Structure 1
Amino acid sequence: MQTTTELGRTGEQVSKLSLGAMLMGTRTDEQTSFGMLDRYLDTGGSFVDTADCYAWWPAAGNTGGESETVLGRWFAARGNRDRVFFSTKGSAWVDEPDRYRGKPARPKYAGAAADTLRAALDGSLRRLGTDHIDLYYVHVDDTATPLEETLDALAGFVKAGKIRHIGWSNVRTWRLERILGLCDRHGWPAPVALQQQHSYLRPTAGANSLSIVDDEQLDHLRANPRISLVAYSPILKGIYDDPAKRDGHPSMVDYAGPDADARLARLTALAADLAVTPNQLVLAWLLHQTDPTPITLVGPRTPEQLDTALGALDIKLSDEHLTLLDG
């Protein structure tokens, strides 16, 4: 069964294993999505995550909004909105997905201007069939819009009761510190969650990704316990289980090197000793972390992948196991 942790310093208890719904409504059909969501709740899970732009990229005809639409239908069919702590995101909507689908070019995101976020939030509420969002993220940090404009708009959404808490994702530490300072200065609601890519492998020296947690960001989170780390892509698209998949995989670009090789060797050996998969062991390792305590966000595409992730809840790691993995 699931265990919970406090979200920041809000007093809100949420599942330490959060269910991402990114592919629901596209690669995962509606009936299968309903079953996976039901299964997650049956294990005691309570924290479901999506975004307004999920998911425009799987196939022609996908535009974004599909995941929220399926979740809205699930809420309506089950009458369970009050049982779920729900997060979604704005600012990363893509207006012309056909221009970018299957191409390496970075899409042009909608951004975090006040009017843009207002329209995005209203669209999310409509698709979800709800009157409020528990946690609303700025999905991709927008350096072209003054932070004051974005934060003032978010404060207005909180005051209007449309969102309860705010978060940020894909953001550098110096920007996060500036956000917190502005919130303190103006009395605006401050972020209570930081959603970043975080896994057992550590980024290599010189890796330059605003999305991956590095040592500086971990130190910042330790010094600011009012913000919870929500760790997305914790198994890096499943590369831990398959050495052939790791070879040349895009997820390894920021991690490959001697440190990764050593950690993978220890992980694989311990997983074999415990009779679990390396992917499951990574999830269990994250669920055992306390400094800081992350919320681990999994995004399974199939019921089998969900069951594999849920299996990590039953893996108990001793201090010796954790020392071995961290050594």
Structure 2
Amino acid sequence: MTGRPAGEDEPGDSDASRDPDALLSRAGVRADTDQDQHFLVDDRVLDRLPGYATAVGADTSHVLEIGAGTGALTDRLLAVAEHVTAVERDPELAAFLREEFADEIAADRLTVIEGDALDVALPDFSLSVSNLPYGASSEIAFRLLPRGRPLVLMFQREFADRMAADPATDEYGRLSVTAGHYADVEVVEPVPKGAFSPPPAVESAVVRTRPRDPDYEVPDEDFFLDFVTALFTQRRKTMRNAVRNTAHISGLEDPDAVVAAADDELMGRRAGKVSPAEFADLAGLAWEVGEPT
């Protein structure tokens, strides 16, 4: 990163007293690690997060933040966004955010939603930049991805690598195919444990997704995603056996018809060697001949 001229604020310096440690001190909370509370306190990482969105021209008119915590990232998002909606499930932290950012709320630049991001009604946001609670990160990500908006999200490193993995790599799996169905996915920054208070047990990483239509067609999106999920439960089996063994998951009444109609070479491979487009073609065939329920 380049230096900045003396006296020039860095992104996020809209209020110099809102550094992460000061916010934690004022909030007076102790992180509940059983509830996945690990506060991001590294200023350098916090400063970079909005930039991963603005660097690719993402619309910052309405930024959604999930897991706002004490507001360290919220403050930086307010520096680049017209409006921020911050979702926080901890009642004590939500109350702190409403007090700490009372001026921004009064100016209609910030909305604080108290509740679980899996349950609350989400606004029609233009972008999400979030340090997600790891225990619910998969469910939250797949609530956001179908909305077709750019995302900059913090995940466990292993999860991030699986989201962005290419076919025939060790990390490639169901997560890679399903995330890639909605967007281009890239890991833009690894984040060490020490960037958080308290440090989590695992390394983390920032993922950026840019929405786009897949380069294949599927007969039914829900069926395609269920079909892919089913086949990856048998990733050590050939596709032939995986199709037959997972009919109870995919909902196929006649999996044998799918195997008989499919390409023999494809049926002899394992799921980790099958591209998303090949999964889509097979799902189309299964939709036609497998009598899905």
State the structure with bigger RCO (CA 8 A, min sep 6), 1 or 2.
1
| TM over 0.5, shorter chain | no
Q: Which structure is larger by alpha-carbon Rg, 1 or 2? A: 2
TM-score by length of 2: 0.33
